[in-house]
Structure formats: structure tokens, C-alpha cells
Structure 1
């Protein structure tokens, strides 16, 4: 499966800000079958802090929605449950597991309130999503090394543009 630009955004944050040593995209549980169909969008590993980041990424720029509000929350809760099961089954050697949901545009109200009620899931949505991109933009404008992330590289190019 192709990696979505939203996934590269999350990967850049995990690598540059959170200090992850390894980032993987579209991770499927081993063994195939039905369990293998539920992929994890972005997984990052920080070996110094012994933290595994498991991230669901939904880049709907017209607003997060699957069928209706209730079905949207059910779907996100199911994805979060898969994150926790994957961490328990395959990442028990990491002492810290961080579960994240990233989406740039989430309608304020039922969806934002329901997401905030999922205690073990960090929601990076709306303004927080924007702040994290702005932090990456600031870092990118002050660095030139190739981080091997196409989104971060684009921010570096934009941040280093000159008129003459």
C-alpha cells in the first residue's frame, strides 16, 4: 500500500521531534489472515526512551467523517483497540506505548468530545495538528540534513527559498 502524505507528516514528527530511531508505515500484523488486514498507519520506535508510538492517521481535509458521527467514533475506537492489541502482542519489550490519532480537520462538537473521552488515545487534531506542523516547519527552516522523509524535505526546501 502506498504511504499517504499524512502518514509522512506523522513520521516526520516522530523522527524529528520525538526522536524515533525507526519509523515504519502501513504495518500489518504478521501471519496474514483477517488480523493482517488491519494495518497500523505509522509506528515509531525510540530506543533511548524505550517508547513505541502507534499512530492512526486520517487526512480528510474536508473534515473527519465515516458514514456518520457515531460510526466515525466506533471506527476510531476499533482502530485504537487494534493498536493496543498489536502493542501487547508484539511490542511488550517496550516499556512505553503511546497511542495517537492524527487528523487535520475534525468538526468541533460530538467528534472532538468523543475523541477526548478515549483516555488512552492522544488526539492530534485541528489546532494541535497545526502546531506540530509549525514546529516541524521551524526546525526545517534551520536545518539542511536529509532526514529521508519527503514531507520534512519539502518543508526544508520551502524554508530555504530565497528571492535572489
Structure 2
């Protein structure tokens, strides 16, 4: 697990209240899902790609290649959710702190086409990513209990420096 994945998993645990969060789930068909979280009421399963690319999200050499790769990840996540979480609403999420305007537009179009695959898609990008991490920082400020989440523990330490 990398620190970006730990931040996202911590958000699910400490902001949304998810009790079950799993990291780096390897798929039989190849690849992996970075973070999987089950909603507190069990109705939704979140399947997350975490791309902590600080110079801007890009897979390959173009926005088109990036969108193709993300579309493939969405299809794999939908198949995984259908096989392993029947009866729960699957939500694919892409978490990325730095995404260009052009790629964000292309991803919005991809989101619309993914509805046909039976999976909700949410992109937590740029300002939305920052807002989520700010909420996590606030949770860290309010919580001093030891945790097994490295990123959350670091935020706790930083929030309680004297």
C-alpha cells in the first residue's frame, strides 16, 4: 500500500465510517483494485483507483490512452463487483489530486458512458480530492487514538504538534 492509498482508505474509515477497507486486491483476470470499501450499511461497495501523480494524471502518452486505461479499470471493477458483491451497488472511484482540465473533460464523458455498464462512477479530482483530504485532516484533529493507517497516523501527528 502506498501513502495515497492509505489516505483514501483512511477517508473511508474515519470520515465515511466504513468498517471494511481492503487494499491492493489482485484480480484473477490481472490487475488490481487499489482500495475496496464497504459502506457502513452494506448497501454500496466502493472500488477505487488511486493515482497520486503529483505532476498530473497520465497513463501512457495521451489523454486518450489514459481514458482507455481507466475505462478498462471500470469494466474490471464492474465485473469484480458483480461476481463478489451481488446485491450491493458498485461505485467505481478514481482519486487523483492533479488532473489537467482537458483530461477532466474527457473523464466526464467517460463517466457518462460508464452508466451503461451498470456501475456508478465518481471522480474525486483536484479540488474535490483536496476537500476530502481536508475532511480527513479534521477527523485526525478530533481523533487521538492509535491507528493502523499510516497516512491517518501521520495526519494525527501533524495536527497535534505543539
TM-score, normalization: structure 1? Answer: 0.88
Q: CA separation in 2, counterparts of 1:19 and 1:116?
A: 28
Map of 1:141 onto structure 2: 141
Name the structure with the higher helix share: 2
Gaps of 5+ in 1: none
Map of 2:132 onto structure 1: 132
Aligned to 1:121, the other structure's residue is in SS state: strand
RMSD: 1.3
Match of 1:28 among 26, 49, 58: 26
Tell me the alpha carbon deviations over residues 98-137 of structure 1, each in whole angstroms, 9 at most, x when there is no partner: 210001100112x101111213310001000001001111
TM-score, normalization: structure 2? Answer: 0.89
Map of 1:115 onto structure 2: 107
1:92 and 2:86 aligned:
yes
Map of 1:6 onto structure 2: 4
Deviation at 1:46, TM superposition (A): 2.5
1:83 and 2:77 aligned:
yes
Q: CA separation in 2, counterparts of 1:97 and 1:72?
A: 22
Q: CA separation in 2, counterparts of 1:71 and 1:50?
A: 33
Q: Is the 8 A contact 2:45 2:90 kept in 1?
A: yes
Gaps of 5+ in 2: 113-119
Aligned to 2:101, the other structure's residue is in SS state: coil
Q: CA separation in 1, counterparts of 2:42 and 2:33?
A: 21
Q: CA separation in 1, counterparts of 2:53 and 2:25?
A: 21
Deviation at 1:144, TM superposition (A): 0.5
Q: CA separation in 2, counterparts of 1:142 and 1:74?
A: 41
